[in-house]
């Protein structure tokens, strides 16, 4: 059996001013059929894993493009088209194939394309014909669309946020595609539109229990897979929003029934599952009241590069300075200029440094500090949910009161504790650790934290979900509308 595999992903914040160009993909890596071998712990980690599954079963893997970019604005049209067309050309050259398995995001939009994944899947279907199973693995923050559903046989999304189950979902999808290619199953999909916009962490109840409900439903006769696409709140595209879909074995009515049952159960949780945020001073008050008992980890949710923000906002940093908070860590801030100045000065140098606040109003104003350069790493990286992610040339500087700041050259959210410890900066003895992330930090930082707080501040990611200024998607959703299902007569 011959499998055609590829990985193309970015998450599009349509409100971000800067487009996603080729450089954003090149920064992480663009691999032309060899990512699983050239970068098996980085960008190619999933294809390396998938190739291992395929070849262990005695099948053939034909590997195509592998590339991904940090979230940002819409992908430049010719960049998306070139990446898409490379996959299509490789597929034509590989024909005939027995199955197609792709790792995509599900919330990628480009200039002229609101649904890149649906566009790609449609074109793949036109090449392979109706008899070859196509499987898509999507990020949990995807927009499940009609084009995707019509073009693919099986679509599976991550169940966990943070996304610690990428490989597990890939294995699930692979096994379903093998069974479909052999004729052992006939997958059909049905979807329930939850008509909700938000962010929902699966690390706490009641979302943890809801994931278990989804898994229990997958053990019911005839049910092959259950996925909840949370949607990406800052993606203004027509089919955005939370949707639950079910893959069943040849029984469309069963798929629809289970999708509606679970979708309504998720809707019933809406008042209990939203992120609980506090303002900056409340978070720092908590840290001050329990100092010496381990670090309080603050998630700077509005300035998460993983959601398209710049990663250089200074609102938390400024309050730490103004309050004289001791033994605090902030990072990783994206500041090419500050990194360059520190690299030029060298380790041990003491200098006046202007930090952050460079990318616009959502970044706040720069903070001027006298700092000592504590460490410089030319090719810094961090663990990132089972892979390695580059931070580029990075520096650790220390200001008064034991205020430690990590500055990076590559814009990315903070995933792993080694974003700090890889520079020699210890965390266990600190009072406050502020990370540029919304939730993916949780897997590594929660075990060392006395408490994790999600901090609201000005920034590029608006967490007032009812007030996001959508133009393309319907505004008939919760929490903007109390009961959009009733309004729609559902």
Average pLDDT over every residue of 139-145:
98
Task: Give a yes or no: residue 486 inside a domain.
Answer: no
Q: Give all strands of the β-sheet with 187-193 in edge-to-edge order.
A: 187-193, 243-249, 223-229
Q: What is the structure's pLDDT at 85?
A: 98
pLDDT digits (tens, 9 = 90+) for 389-420: 999 999 999 999 999 999 999 999 999 999 99
* pLDDT > 90? residue 213: yes
Tell me, what's the pLDDT at 490?
A: 62
Percent of the chain at pLDDT > 70 equals 99
In this structure, of 229-233, 280-284, 291-295, 435-439, the range with the lowest mean pLDDT score is 291-295
- How far apart are alpha carbons 350 and 218 in whole angstroms? 59
Over residues 126-136, the mean pLDDT reads 98
In terms of domains, do 352 and 287 share one? yes
Q: Is residue 487 part of a domain?
A: no
pLDDT at position 17 is 80
What average pLDDT does this structure show over 172-190? 98
Assigned domain for 476 exists: no
Handedness of CA 460, 297, 336, 388 (dihedral sign): negative
Q: Do 388 and 249 fall within a single domain?
A: no
Assess whether 203 and 296 both reside in one domain: no
Question: What average pLDDT does range 197-207 have in this prediction?
Answer: 95
SS3 of 30, please? strand
Place of tokens 């995807």: 142
* Domain-terminating residue out of 245, 268, 291: 268
Kindly tell me if the per-residue pLDDT of 132 is higher than 80.
yes
The per-residue pLDDT for range 25-80, each reduced to its tens digit, is 999 999 999 999 999 999 999 999 999 999 999 999 999 999 999 999 999 999 99
Mean pLDDT of 307-328: 96
Nearest to 416 by CA among 451, 395, 440, 392: 440
Asked if residue 111 is part of any domain, the answer here is yes
pLDDT at 487 (0 to 100): 65
Predicted TM-score (pTM) of this structure: 0.92
The pLDDT score that the predictor gives to residue 66 is: 98
CB crowding 56-74: b at 16 or more within 10 Å, else e: eeebebbbbbbbbbbbbbb
Does any domain span residue 293? yes
What is the rounded CA–CA span in Å between residue 306 and residue 224? 31
Q: Which of 223, 248, 268 is the last residue of a domain?
A: 268
Sheet strands (E) in 255-348:
277-279, 296-300, 328-334
Write down the pLDDT at residue 460. 81
Claim to verify: residue 77 and residue 125 sit in the same structural domain: yes
For residues 85 and 133, state if they share a domain.
yes
Same domain, 255 and 302: no
Tokens 């970015």 belong to 10
C-alpha atoms less than 13 angstroms from C-alpha of 100 in its C-beta half-sphere: 33
- Say if residue 446's pLDDT is above 70: yes
Residue 291: its pLDDT value, please?
A: 80
Q: Are residues 41 and 177 in the same domain?
A: yes
Q: What is the pLDDT of residue 469?
A: 95
Residue 165 within any structural domain of the chain:
yes
Both 149 and 12 in one domain: the answer is yes
Q: Which of 268, 288, 312 is the last residue of a domain?
A: 268
Residue 484 lies in a domain: no
From residue 302, give the alpha-carbon distance in Å to each of 11, 317, 414. 16, 14, 13
- The answer on 116 and 86 residing in a single domain is yes
Segments forming the whole domain that contains residue 314: 277-462
Total tally of structural domains belonging to the chain = 2
Do 334 and 186 share a structural domain? no
pLDDT confidence tier of residue 489, bands split at 50, 70 and 90: low
Instruction: Judge whether 308 lies within some domain.
Output: yes
Within this chain, do residues 6 and 71 fall inside the same structural domain, yes or no?
A: yes
* Shared domain check, 303 and 161: no
């Amino acid at each position: 059996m011959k499998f055609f595999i590829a990985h193309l992903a970015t998450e599009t914040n349509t409100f971000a001013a800067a487009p996603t160009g080729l450089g954003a993909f090149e920064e992480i890596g663009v691999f032309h059929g060899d990512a699983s071998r050239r970068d098996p712990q980085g960008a190619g980690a999933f294809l390396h894993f998938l190739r291992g599954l395929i070849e262990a079963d005695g099948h053939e893997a034909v590997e195509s493009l592998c590339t991904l970019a940090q979230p940002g604005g819409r992908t430049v049209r010719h960049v998306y088209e070139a990446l898409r067309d490379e996959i299509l050309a490789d597929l034509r050259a590989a024909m005939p194939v027995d199955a197609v398995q792709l790792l995509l995001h599900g919330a990628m939009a480009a200039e002229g394309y609101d649904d890149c994944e649906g566009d790609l899947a449609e074109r793949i279907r036109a090449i392979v014909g109706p008899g070859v199973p196509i499987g898509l693995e999507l990020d949990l923050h995807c927009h499940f669309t009609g084009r995707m559903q019509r073009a693919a046989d099986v679509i599976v999304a991550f169940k966990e946020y943070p996304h610690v189950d990428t490989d597990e979902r890939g294995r699930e999808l692979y096994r379903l595609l093998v069974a479909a290619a052999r004729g052992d199953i006939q997958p059909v999909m049905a979807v329930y539109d939850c008509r909700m916009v938000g962010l929902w962490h699966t690390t706490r109840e009641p979302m943890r229990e809801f994931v278990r409900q989804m898994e229990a439903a997958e053990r019911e006769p005839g049910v092959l897979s259950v996925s909840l696409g949370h949607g990406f709140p800052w993606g203004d595209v027509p089919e955005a929003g939370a949707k639950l879909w079910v893959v069943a074995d040849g029984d469309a009515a069963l798929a629809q029934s289970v999708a509606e049952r679970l979708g309504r159960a998720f809707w019933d949780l809406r008042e209990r599952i939203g992120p609980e945020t506090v303002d900056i001073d409340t978070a720092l008050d908590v840290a001050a009241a329990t100092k010496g008992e381990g670090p309080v980890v603050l998630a700077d949710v509005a300035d998460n590069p993983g959601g398209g923000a710049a990663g250089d906002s200074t609102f938390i940093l400024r309050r730490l300075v103004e309050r004289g908070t001791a033994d605090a860590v902030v990072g990783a801030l994206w500041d090419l200029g500050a990194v360059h100045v520190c690299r030029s000065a060298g380790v041990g140098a003491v200098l006046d440094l202007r930090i952050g606040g460079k990318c616009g109003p959502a970044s706040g104003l720069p903070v001027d500090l006298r700092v000592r350069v504590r460490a410089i790493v030319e090719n810094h990286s961090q663990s990132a949910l089972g892979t390695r992610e580059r931070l580029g040339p990075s520096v650790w500087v220390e200001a008064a009161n034991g205020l430690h700041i990590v500055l990076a050259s590559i814009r990315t959210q903070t995933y792993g504790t080694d974003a700090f410890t890889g520079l020699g900066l210890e965390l266990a003895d600190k009072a406050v650790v502020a990370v540029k992330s919304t939730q993916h930090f949780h897997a590594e930082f929660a075990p060392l934290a006395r408490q994790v707080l999600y901090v609201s501040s000005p920034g590029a990611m608006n967490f007032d979900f009812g007030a996001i200024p959508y133009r393309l998607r319907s505004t008939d959703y919760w929490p903007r509308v109390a009961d959009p299902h009733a309004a729609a007569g559902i």
